[in-house]
Amino acid sequence: MTTENTKTTANIEKRSSAFAYAPAPESRSVVDIAPSYGLFIDGEFVEAADGKVFKTVSPSTEEVLSEIAQAGEADVDRAVKAARRAFGKWSALPGSERAKYLFRIARVIQERSRELAVLETLDNGKPIKETRDADLPLVAAHFFYYAGWADKLDHAGFGANPQPLGVAGQVIPWNFPLLMLAWKIAPALATGNTVVLKPAETTPLSALFFADICRQAGLPKGVVNILPGYGDTGAALVEHPDVNKVAFTGSTAVGKAIARQVAGTSKKVTLELGGKGANIVFDDAPIDQAVEGIVSGIFFNQGQVCCAGSRLLVQESIQDELLDSLKRRLSTLRLGDPLDKNTDIGAINSAEQLSRITTLVEQGEAEGAERWSPACELPSSGYWFAPTLFTNVTQAHTIARDEIFGPVLSVLSFRTPDEAVAKANNSQYGLSAGIWTEKGSRILAVANKLRAGVIWSNTFNKFDPTSPFGGYKESGFGREGGRHGLEAYLDV
Amino acid sequence: MSEKPKNTEKPKSAEKAEQQRLSVFKTYKLYVGGKFPRSESGRVYEVTDSKGEWLANAPLSSRKDARDAVVAARKAFGGWSGATAYNRGQVLYRVAEMLEGRRDQFVREVADSEGLSKSKAAGVVDAAIDRWVWYAGWTDKIAQVVGGGNPVAGPYFNLSTPEPTGVVTVLAPQESSFLGLVSVIAPVIATGNTVIVVASERSPLPALSLGEVLATSDVPGGVVNILSGKTAEIATPLAAHQDVNAIDLAGADDVLAKELEVAAADNLKRVVRPQAVDYFAAPGIERLTAFLETKTVWHPTGALGASGSSY
């Protein structure tokens, strides 16, 4: 095996030079980032009450992009008050009028999508290919989809005349900054709530640009408020007594803390938390398609995806063949400048996240799993991690249990469908899973047995605003997307 | 019996003897895993009617009983959730049938427990029987109402279907010891969950008798597990139990409810908070959907659209 591997690697190197592409960088001149931004409260950009600021950097270059006001408790209070004031009028608007605001927002996002894609890539580090082709179209689609619900709530299946809850406090992560904003804000506004949203400290820019989109759309003041800040800002928002609804996407640990905080209150809560998705490949699966699915499952957005297929479960009889194909494919992935249109793997979002990934990967090695990465040169500045896969992994290994949230795939094998199901379900999480087989009855039977909220068969990492998304078990509760996504913001 | 008394009229003395016949008391037991154990702790507590008259001794369950009930409920989950919705509907309807036959017993127990007149208690029992019928009809319809195909913008086909969340702990309402009890158990099992229910602390007898009905109604053992005792004592380990997926706090007061909700956060249980409910009113589907997960399954189709097909 070892000599064969060396030979394969040599072949791969030869091949990859034939695949060398000239750089194709997207221009960053389409986006104009101001040197500093305030908080967005009651339709205005304002300083933080205590004058605190923080810097947001580009993860691929460590360049400081802008200085951002950091919201404290007083600012949270101010924003919640503004949202409360706006709530009366906003919720009293006819649904058809609220719909028109949301349609306007969807259209402005489409018009400005190139600018926003570049901005998101700069602030988050993910490839422009993904922001341009995945994030932004989905962001616009979410607003468009929920716009259409605003005047049809009587027909959504929650009884006649369902009412909004009031002020929604929303805390979103850094992996899909604008998309998570859309998932949260679009259904909240469609149902007549007003919002205070806290973007992640490493990716506040697109949310602040969204504030400008609200201005262009003529959205009434106070309906949307944006408060950049750290975890303590989020905690203050969740705890604020005048918040009626808490929506959080992020880690399971923080999700549990929030569940404890809202206990005994009347606050409605939805949580979209971590995952450790199993991607199950049966021996009759089309190998090439499965390899593509595995790659998009774990290397999309550098694996910083809660529903990533981070555990590959492959049927023993095809394990060698599949791994050879997978390694060959990984060797063709291009890592580097996220603004380059040819880039597949961008930067890790922050130094902190990079160190978490590094620690877990070292633990994987220490526990006896076998680490492999393609030949891959990392840029000298910024936060980078080469695509990595682990073989010889058992279910007891930390890397098979803990969410790594990075471009790291753990490979396990199985012999029978029952064993695959048992291993897939052997997790505290239950967000996503993948099934690869040509056999329809097997897809349906296995999908039926998997304890996960989203199952992709013969595909992976597909999203659509019409489709409910959310987890079982410790991956949280509530669904976002589809008519199910309305429930979290209505008094039902 | 060959020697019939010549006088067809009963002698006065015999009538007297009948009046003085000593009735047979019932030892009320828990219902766990389809069996009727006493509490593991060997403890009982005194149950009285609304006037303070002794009715019976009920088991005073311990945390060990609660854990045993979770084991039984988990064991039953696979079979019950895997049964067809049609079959579950049949079983729920069978419960209504069995209750109808024992109507008088429950009228008496409810009247004693809740201090109601015979006619009021009869109204409660009738409503409870009808509630089983209502939920029996929901088992094979809820998936169509809350699930469905999603019109995705791409060459994919996807379906959202509801699935039971798993093992559910229910703290039965304290006041409505029978109608309230049925109103919180039936929706949980209608959708394929299994349940551990903590009966009304003051009036546990109708709940314990319900166990006898369930045992003879084709409900598989372990699907419903009934515990009696101190709500707070039993609920605390159940709210913290890592193999319980959801908890309905109907029978908890505000202080206890908050404490249990905090404990439930540890494995992110789905929580239904206590709320004012008129159990006589039409229940709607909230209690059905509260214990459902939504699973969305995607599959590619051939390419759609103007460019032609790729299948």
**Considering only residues 225 to 254 of chain A, which have any Cβ-Cβ distance to chain B shorter than 8 Å?**
252
**Is A447 within 8 Å of B145 when comparing Cβ atoms?**
no
**Rounded to a whole number, what is the distance in Å from the CA of A153 to chain B's nearest CA?**
15
Side chain identity, residue A440 = G
Annotated catalytic residue, options A120, A130, A201, A272:
A272
Q: Which residues of B109-135 are buried (b: 16+ CB within 10 A; e: fewer)?
A: bbbbbbebeeeebbbbbbbbbebbbbb
pLDDT of residue B4: 46
**Is A255 within 8 Å of B153 when comparing Cβ atoms?**
no
Q: Tell me whether A438 touches chain B (CB under 8 Å).
A: no
A214 is catalytic: no
pLDDT of residue A408: 98
pLDDT less than 70: residues of chain A: 1-19
Question: HEC profile for chain A?
Answer: CHHHHHHHHHHHHHHHHHCCCCCCECCHHHCCCCCEECEEECCEEECCCCCCEEEEECCCCCCEEEEEECCCHHHHHHHHHHHHHHHHHHHHCCHHHHHHHHHHHHHHHHHCHHHHHHHHHHHHCCCHHHHHHHHHHHHHHHHHHHHHHCCCHHHCCCCCCCCECCEEEEECCCCCHHHHHHHHHHHHHHCCCEEEEECCCCCCHHHHHHHHHHHHHCCCCCCEEECCCCHHHHHHHHHCCCCCEEEEECCHHHHHHHHHHHCCCCCEEEEECCCCCEEEECCCCCHHHHHHHHHHHHHHHHHCCCCCCCEEEEEHHHHHHHHHHHHHHHCCCCECCCCECCCCECCCCCHHHHHHHHHHHHHHHHCCCEEECCCCCCCCCCCCCCCEEEECCCCCCHHHHCCCCCCEEEEEEECCHHHHHHHHHCCCEECEEEEECCCHHHHHHHHHHCCCCEEEECCCCCCCCCCCECCEECCEECCECCCHHHHCCECC
Q: Tell me whether A187 touches chain B (CB under 8 Å).
A: no
**Is A252 within 8 Å of B268 when comparing Cβ atoms?**
yes
C-alpha to C-alpha distance for A392 and A82, rounded to whole angstroms:
55
For tokens 């016949």, what's the residue? Answer: B21
Reference A219, options A136, A98, A106; nearest CA is: A98
Query: For residue A476, is it left (φ>0), alpha (ψ between -120 and 50) or beta?
Result: left
| Bridge partners, A57 (sequence order) | A64
Q: Tell me whether A464 touches chain B (CB under 8 Å).
A: yes
**What count of other Cβ atoms lies within 10 Å of the Cβ of residue A480?**
23
C-alpha to C-alpha distance for B280 and A174, rounded to whole angstroms:
48
What is the separation of C-alpha B241 from the centre of its chain, rounded to a whole number of angstroms? 19
In chain A the first and final C-alpha atoms are separated, in Å, by: 60
Tokens of A140: 């616009």
Tokens of B215: 């045992």
C-alpha to C-alpha distance for A185 and A170, rounded to whole angstroms:
8
Going by the DSSP 8-state scheme, the letter that residue B111 receives in this structure is: H
Annotated catalytic residue, options A120, A130, A201, A306:
A306
Biggest CA–CA distance in chain A, Å, is 72
**Rounded to a whole number, what is the distance in Å from the CA of B152 to chain A's nearest CA?**
6
**Is A264 within 8 Å of B151 when comparing Cβ atoms?**
no
Chains A–B, number of C-beta pairs less than 8 Å apart: 104
Tokens of B83: 């049964």
Side chain identity, residue A136 = L
Contact A125, A338 (CB under 8 A): yes
Q: Tell me whether A447 touches chain B (CB under 8 Å).
A: yes
pLDDT of residue B3: 47
**Is B153 within 8 Å of A464 when comparing Cβ atoms?**
yes
pLDDT of residue A20: 73
B148: exposed, middle or buried (C-beta count within 10 Å: 0-12, 13-18, 19+)? middle
Mean pLDDT per 10-residue interval, chain B, length 311 residues: 48 60 94 98 96 96 98 98 97 97 97 96 98 96 96 94 98 98 98 98 98 98 98 98 98 98 98 96 94 97 63 58
* Triad A258, A261, A264: Cα angle to 5°: 130
pLDDT of residue B302: 74
H/E run at residue B123: helix B118-138
Residues of chain A found within 8 Å of residue B265, distances taken between Cβ atoms? 256-257, 259-260, 263
Query: For residue A225, is it left (φ>0), alpha (ψ between -120 and 50) or beta?
Result: beta
**Rounded to a whole number, what is the distance in Å from the CA of B130 to chain A's nearest CA?**
22
C-alpha to C-alpha distance for A330 and A77, rounded to whole angstroms:
49
A306 is catalytic: yes
Reference B152, options A483, A140, A466, A486; nearest CA is: A466
Q: Tell me whether B24 touches chain A (CB under 8 Å).
A: no
**Rounded to a whole number, what is the distance in Å from the CA of A457 to chain B's nearest CA?**
5
**Rounded to a whole number, what is the distance in Å from the CA of B90 to chain A's nearest CA?**
22
Query: Residue B250: CB partners within 8 Å, gap ≥ 6?
Result: B170, B171, B172, B173, B180, B184, B272, B274, B275, B277
H/E run at residue B263: helix B254-264
Q: Write the pLDDT tens digit of every residue in A61-79.
A: 999 999 999 999 999 999 9
**Rounded to a whole number, what is the distance in Å from the CA of B61 to chain A's nearest CA?**
26
Tokens of A167: 């002020």
- Can you say whether the dihedral through the CA atoms of B53, B59, B61, B62 is positive or negative? positive
Locate the chain A residue with the closest alpha carbon to B284. Answer: A159
pLDDT of residue B53: 95
Contact A191, A153 (CB under 8 A): yes
Q: Tell me whether A303 touches chain B (CB under 8 Å).
A: no
Tokens of B59: 């088991």
Biggest CA–CA distance in chain B, Å, is 100
Contact A154, A160 (CB under 8 A): yes
Q: Tell me whether B258 touches chain A (CB under 8 Å).
A: yes
Q: Tell me whether B301 touches chain A (CB under 8 Å).
A: no
Query: For residue A384, is it left (φ>0), alpha (ψ between -120 and 50) or beta?
Result: beta
Q: Tell me whether A469 touches chain B (CB under 8 Å).
A: yes
**Is B296 within 8 Å of A428 when comparing Cβ atoms?**
no
Q: Tell me whether B78 touches chain A (CB under 8 Å).
A: no
C-alpha to C-alpha distance for A220 and A82, rounded to whole angstroms:
11
Reported as half-sphere exposure (CB side, CA atoms, 13 A), residue A316 has a value of: 7
Beta strand residue intervals within B105-235, DSSP E: 148-150, 156-164, 167-171, 194-198, 224-227
Reference A211, options A314, A332, A112, A67; nearest CA is: A112
**Is B295 within 8 Å of A252 when comparing Cβ atoms?**
no
Q: Tell me whether B245 touches chain A (CB under 8 Å).
A: yes
Picking from A141, A462, A477, the nearest residue to B156 by CB comes out as A462
pLDDT of residue A11: 55
Going by the DSSP 8-state scheme, the letter that residue B46 receives in this structure is: E
**Is B295 within 8 Å of A464 when comparing Cβ atoms?**
no
**What count of other Cβ atoms lies within 10 Å of the Cβ of residue A1?**
6
